[in-house]
């Protein structure tokens, strides 16, 4: 019998030959790899909220999709709280950011519409667009004119539908920000909708941690995705925007309709995280102080000063990146190498993620280690 997995084995071998083979690793060393930016994932208040929920009988699992018996009071309470917190008309809670992005982009834009997306947008957005019936066009990263040109080309070819502009507010591998004010002006000029993935900004930036798009919340042509598994320290994602978007996803979003609902306990955790964002602003202040110190120490090594908690140190070659990553991990720092296809070819890097799980002293020791390893 021939090997039914011969192609898969050959693909894995080819990845290994290019230093791109991935494997799972458990946590080790000081955290410079997670997205737990303000250290809520194991915060005492989060643990206490979950214990109290268990004590009052909140179920561990949802038991079904939200359109069946899986819709718990905790889900709806979180959505009402989130709509108030973010200042939007409605919010819908889904199991994770990947699923939410995929459901949103595959469902809401319609046949005959155009989605213009940033070249560095999340893989989950690409998955949603692949399933969408809308046309799509890529724009150069953070280039508003490129977005405008893509819309103009589409209109010139006879495109008459709605325009959807899809971006991240803070990019996960470079740590830079989208020009949101210019993009919303572009959306307004074309009667379009701005779709903003706030995954890495929620809980870190904006008033009370409401993100970089906080000043756009409540607008009729803005949809924001707030991931709950990063700075909010839990799981799930909130699609925030007009009520019609929520209603349409509930009725037409296959990724929502046919998925088991998130755990009611996770809804409790996200709810507590939103309260912590308001009541403990010092977490964000401490993180920004850590960012500033890291920039001072890491910029001389060639790290990009992004102005955010994501600091890329681009090394270029895949093999070199992974060798440096392994050496740093052996020295006691959990810092992972990032390779294509996650980042463009030739830009393999160390993605230094700054969180309150590390201290200023940890940052100083990491910088000294990198000086020794990189040379």
Q: Is 111 a catalytic residue?
A: no
Q: Which of 197, 235, 318, 334 is catalytic?
A: 197
Alpha carbon distance 106, 91 (integer Å): 18
3-state secondary structure 295-312: HHHHHHHCCCCCCCCEEE
Q: Is 127 a catalytic residue?
A: no
Q: Which of 74, 118, 168, 217 is catalytic?
A: 168
The upper half-sphere exposure of residue 21, i.e. CA atoms within 13 Å in the direction of its Cβ, equals 12
Q: Which of 200, 271, 348, 362 is catalytic?
A: 200
CB distance 248 to 107 below 8 Å: yes
Q: Is 197 a catalytic residue?
A: yes
3-state secondary structure of 31: strand
Q: Which of 31, 35, 96, 169 is catalytic?
A: 35
Alpha carbon distance 81, 51 (integer Å): 20
Alpha carbon distance 368, 350 (integer Å): 15
Alpha carbon distance 61, 52 (integer Å): 16
Q: Is 80 a catalytic residue?
A: no
Strands 222-227 and 193-197: parallel
Alpha carbon distance 174, 132 (integer Å): 27
Q: Which of 230, 235, 271, 308 is catalytic?
A: 230
3-state secondary structure of 260: strand
Alpha carbon distance 130, 113 (integer Å): 14
For residue 311, which of 250, 279, 358, 373 has the smallest C-alpha distance?
Answer: 358
For residue 256, which of 67, 69, 6, 49 has the smallest C-alpha distance?
Answer: 67
Q: Is 306 a catalytic residue?
A: no
For residue 176, which of 46, 305, 368, 320 has the smallest C-alpha distance?
Answer: 305
Q: Which of 101, 106, 169, 172 is catalytic?
A: 172
Whether the bond into 219 is cis, omega within 30 of 0? no
Q: Which of 36, 74, 102, 122 is catalytic?
A: 122
For 324, the enclosing helix (H) or strand (E) is: helix 318-330
The residues annotated as belonging to the active site are: 35, 122, 168, 172, 197, 200, 230
């Amino acid at each position: 019998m021939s090997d039914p997995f011969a192609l898969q084995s050959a693909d894995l071998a080819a990845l290994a030959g290019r230093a791109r083979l991935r494997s799972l690793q458990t946590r080790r060393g000081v955290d410079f790899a997670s997205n737990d930016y303000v250290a809520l994932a194991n915060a005492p208040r989060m643990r206490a909220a979950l214990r109290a929920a268990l004590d009052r009988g909140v179920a561990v699992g949802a038991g079904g999709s939200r359109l069946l018996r899986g819709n718990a009071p905790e889900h709806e309470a979180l959505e009402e709280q989130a709509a108030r917190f973010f200042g939007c008309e409605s919010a819908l809670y889904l199991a994770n950011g990947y699923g939410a992005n995929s459901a949103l982009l595959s469902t809401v834009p319609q046949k005959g519409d155009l989605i213009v997306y940033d070249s560095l947008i999340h893989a989950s957005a690409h998955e949603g667009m692949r399933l969408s019936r809308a046309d799509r066009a890529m724009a150069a990263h953070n280039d508003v004119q490129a977005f405008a040109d893509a819309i103009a080309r589409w209109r010139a070819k006879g495109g008459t539908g709605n325009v959807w502009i899809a971006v991240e507010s803070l990019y996960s591998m470079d740590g830079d920000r989208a020009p949101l004010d210019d993009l919303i002006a572009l959306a307004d000029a074309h009667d379009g909708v701005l779709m903003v993935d706030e995954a890495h900004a929620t809980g870190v930036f904006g008033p009370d941690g409401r993100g970089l798009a906080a000043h756009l919340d409540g607008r009729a042509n803005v949809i924001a995705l707030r991931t709950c598994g990063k700075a909010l320290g839990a799981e799930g994602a909130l699609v925030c925007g007009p009520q019609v978007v929520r209603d349409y996803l509930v009725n037409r979003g296959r990724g929502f309709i046919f998925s088991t609902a998130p755990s009611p306990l996770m809804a409790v955790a996200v709810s507590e995280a939103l309260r912590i964002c308001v009541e403990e602003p010092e977490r964000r202040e401490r993180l920004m102080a850590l960012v500033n110190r890291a920039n001072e120490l890491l910029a001389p090594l060639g790290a990009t000063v992004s102005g955010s908690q994501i600091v890329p140190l681009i090394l270029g070659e895949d093999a070199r990146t992974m060798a440096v990553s392994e050496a740093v991990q052996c020295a006691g720092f959990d810092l992972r190498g990032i390779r294509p296809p996650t980042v463009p070819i030739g830009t393999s890097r160390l993605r230094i993620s700054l969180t309150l799980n590390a201290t200023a002293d940890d940052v100083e020791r990491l910088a000294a280690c990198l000086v020794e390893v990189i040379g």
